[in-house]
Amino acid sequence: MNDNDAQFIGKNALHPRVVEKALGAPIFAADLGDGNQLVLKARRAGVHHAEIVSIDTREAEAVPGVVRIFTSADIPGRNAVGIIGNNKDWPILAVGKVRSKADAVALVAAETEAAADAAVKAIRIEWKELPAVLDPEAALLPDAPKIHESGNLLYTRLIKKGDVEAGFAASCHILENEYETPMIEHCYIETEAGIGYFDEDGIMTIEVATQNTHYDQADICAVLDVPEEQLRVVQAVTGGGFGGKLDISVHGFIGLALLHLRRPVRYFYTREESFLASGKRHGMKLKLKTGVDRNGKLLAVQGRVLSDGGAYGSYGIAVVTRTGVHLTGPYECPNVDVEVREIYTNHPFCCAMRGFGTPQGALAHESQMDMHGQALGLDPIEIRLRNALVNGSEQATGQIIHASAGLTDCLKALRPYYDEAMSVWMKEKPGRPSRKRGVGVGAMWYGCGNTAAANPAAAHIEIDQNGQLTLYSGAADIGQGSTITLLQIAAEVLGVEPAKFKSVIADTKYTENAGASSASRQTYISGNATLQAATLMADALLERAGDQLQSPKEDLALAGGKVTLKSNPAVGLPLAQLAGSMHTLGLPMKFRGYFDPDTTPLDPKTGQGCPYGTYAFACQLVQLEVDVLTGEIDIHRVVAAHDVGRMINPANLVGQVCGGVAMGLGYGILEEFAPGVESLKDYHICTSTDVPEIVPILVETPEPTGPFGAKGIGEPSLIPTAPAAVNALEMAIGERIYALPATLERVMEACQKAGWFEKLEV
């Protein structure tokens, strides 16, 4: 289909709730309830690592307004949750010991907030403190205290291809460096929140800020020991997630209280509790050795990575697997030897966060690529063009990329901006001598969907006897705009404006599992499921219209809410008339679509296999100034070229790019979660005044297996920004920074190493 032929694909369309969001009208999870719900509060451990000697709740139970206090003894089912496979290692309420300060030991249900707070403070716990393990390297020492009985090593991912030693022997330039990235906080506007009640059918219902209702339902049912038909999970309007609302948070507490008390309940985290108890981005220590030939072509990549997973597994196995698969960068390399290990520590648990382990690796591979280019006299665009994965390339797991490898197109789109920045902007004189300018480039690739695992989604489209269309999808919309994207896909097939559809989204009572809204997968996977459902409905409508118009369905078209003759669009039947006759005849009115990308597991010893159905590519350019006497950084402009396969909703894509760039800048120069950080008063994220000019460039390289050629952009929009900023800082200062974030202290240290104080006679 050409863009000129499209009715709704490639066009801007408003999300069904965009106006009320702009007006501040939607009811988010923390706003739910009528004031008659019991208030829930957890008593957190407050110690890194300890055995629980005793829990005394008598004083707390005597607080006026307290209804009940729960401990682990009140959990009827499996007191453990966790996202990946059988790795259920995180208790809802601690049993025997605690492994982080955030561990919940008891749960209070009270009539008021004040009573709940007072009761939490009145719970007496006797501890036997254990040595805390707060460094992943120390956690691997033979005498390190065991955080879990299985030990402190959760998982190892190996990626091995070719002969890496032979690759280094043939290299003319070899680099070996160490990098470090921090834990960071998700900082969504809305903290974790939800309510519980019994719906009109008497089903226990949890309405919650979440990214995956069906996962929530399965794990909470196991905790409560109830069948899934007795528990309904509904996604509330969710104020951001970025991966941090994939794990169980308030859900388990709400379910436990609802089961026992049979009364409506609510729980929402304060910002301080969210900082304490929510998952973080994995901090990593990376050692990367790379070798290139005299033309700058990569010959060998060797990586050793330690990932601090905190106290519990969460998405850790998936994160380090993705780190390993992507550690070569978006570049072809014949010889690869990568080992990534996920380590338990007594830090807060680490989970999914936008990029899933690729932002950490991107700092390393993009720094190395720049340094190779400098050594060989190649500019950052050229060195990347010489190594870019293209259609037909074999990546590190042995998978051949057959189509939609858009990095070369992104680099070429960026070239004019780079040349202009170097030839004009870099030659302008900044306002004072201590301000130095830099231009940096960062590239990335990202597999859309879960890694080397079943990754399906289902969707349904229904037409009632009056012609009303309804989309049913389990894909949680957390602000990324998946709902309008799916509606546009359905609309394109059925010839009905997206605004005329109804939608039922992420409600386990009415929708089938669509998997998580994570890993940049929903446009690609739920989009394909929606496309299939719409195609089946279209076929049924055309078949019925063909009978009535006495015309082969090949001669009919769906447009404008009716079926018309292609040869004479004035002749047609409204969908309402067709739907009425289908209803009368007892024909199917609801159609199901299903899609699961073609992937294979990775070999545990070599990592060889087919991990993803398609990949997104991108390249970004950062222009900045640094005051080498004060360390002040001023980001001038970010140009972001992103391969999106095919545009479904351009405005959505631009929004994702701009949001990702802002978040990537925060990761690069501002954000670091550390002990003592408790709220936004001492944790710094980008504000509107920190965001520079952003120039989004949307590159289309249609993916044959994607809906109308589309693929994801949610994660890719963040990944290249921090590496590009670090590369720009190196150009400006003359010294490289190897650890994120590039804080004032690190920038000043680099300026001192570069000798700027002496050069400027300070």
Q: Residue 565: is its pLDDT beyond 60?
A: yes
On the question of pLDDT at 251 being above 90, the answer is: yes
pTM over 0.95: yes
CB neighbours of residue 595 within 10 Å: 23
Q: Identical fold at 3-26+456-595 and 283-451+603-759?
A: yes
Residue 194 has pLDDT above 60, yes or no: yes
* Distance (Å, whole) CA 541 – CA 548: 11
Q: Does the pLDDT value for residue 4 go beyond 70?
A: no
Summarize the confidence of residues 424-446 as an average pLDDT: 95
Locate the domains of the chain by residue range: 3-26+456-595, 32-130+192-268, 283-451+603-759
- Homologous superfamily assigned to 32-130+192-268: Aldehyde oxidase/xanthine dehydrogenase, a/b hammerhead (3.90.1170.50)
Beta strands in 309-380 (DSSP E): 336-343
CB 619 within 8 A of CB 631: no
**Joined tokens for residue 344:** 């338990």
Reported as a pLDDT band with limits 50, 70 and 90, residue 137 is: very high
pLDDT above 90 as % of the chain: 95
Q: What pLDDT was estimated at residue 2?
A: 60
pLDDT digits (tens, 9 = 90+) for 236-247: 999 899 999 999
Mean pLDDT over residues 293-297, rounded? 98
Q: Which two tokens stand for residue 286?
A: 């990376």
Residue 85 binned pLDDT confidence (cut-offs 50, 70, 90): confident
Residue 15: predicted pLDDT: 82
Report the C-alpha gap between 335 and 342 in whole angstroms. 23
Average pLDDT, the chain: 96
The pLDDT of residue 761 is 72
pLDDT of residue 205: 98
Q: 164-178, 356-370, 558-572: which range is least confident on average? A: 558-572
Q: Give the pLDDT mean for 137-164.
A: 98
**Per-residue pLDDT at 762:** 56
Longest dimension (CA), the chain: 90
Residue 497 has pLDDT above 70, yes or no: yes
State residue 467's pLDDT score: 97
CATH architecture, range 283-451+603-759 = 2-Layer Sandwich (3.30)
**Residue 153 carries which DSSP code?**
E
pLDDT at 19: 82
What does the alpha-carbon distance between residue 302 and residue 396 come to, in Å, rounded to a whole number?
11
The band of 17, judged by pLDDT with boundaries at 50, 70 and 90, is confident
Rounded to whole angstroms, the Cα distance separating 5 from 596 reads: 28
Among candidate residues 276, 250, 262, 203, the one with its CA nearest the CA of residue 68? 262
Residues near 520 by Cβ (< 8 Å), separated by ≥ 6? 446, 448, 449, 616, 711, 712, 713, 714, 715, 716
Q: What is the pLDDT of residue 1?
A: 60
Query: Hey, what CATH topology would domain 3-26+456-595 get?
Result: Aldehyde Oxidoreductase; domain 4 (3.30.365)
SS (H, E, C) 485-552: HHHHHHHHHHCCCHHHCEEEECECCCCCCCCCCCCCCHHHHHHHHHHHHHHHHHHHHHHHHHHHHCCC
- Mean local confidence (pLDDT), 289-299: 98
Residue 238 dihedral angles phi and psi, to the nearest 5°? -115, 125
DSSP-assigned letter for residue 680: T
Res 748: pLDDT: 97
Cis peptide before 334 (omega within 30 of 0): no
153 has pLDDT over 90 = yes
571-599 residue pLDDT tens:
999 999 999 999 999 999 999 999 999 99
pLDDT beyond 90 at 25: no
483 band by pLDDT with thresholds 50, 70 and 90: very high
| 519-558: pLDDT as tens digits | 999 999 999 999 999 999 999 999 999 999 999 999 999 9
Percentage with pLDDT > 70 across the chain: 99
Give the mean model confidence (pLDDT) for residues 719-741: 98
Is the pLDDT score of 475 beyond 90?
A: yes
Q: Band of the pLDDT at 184, cuts 50, 70, 90? A: very high
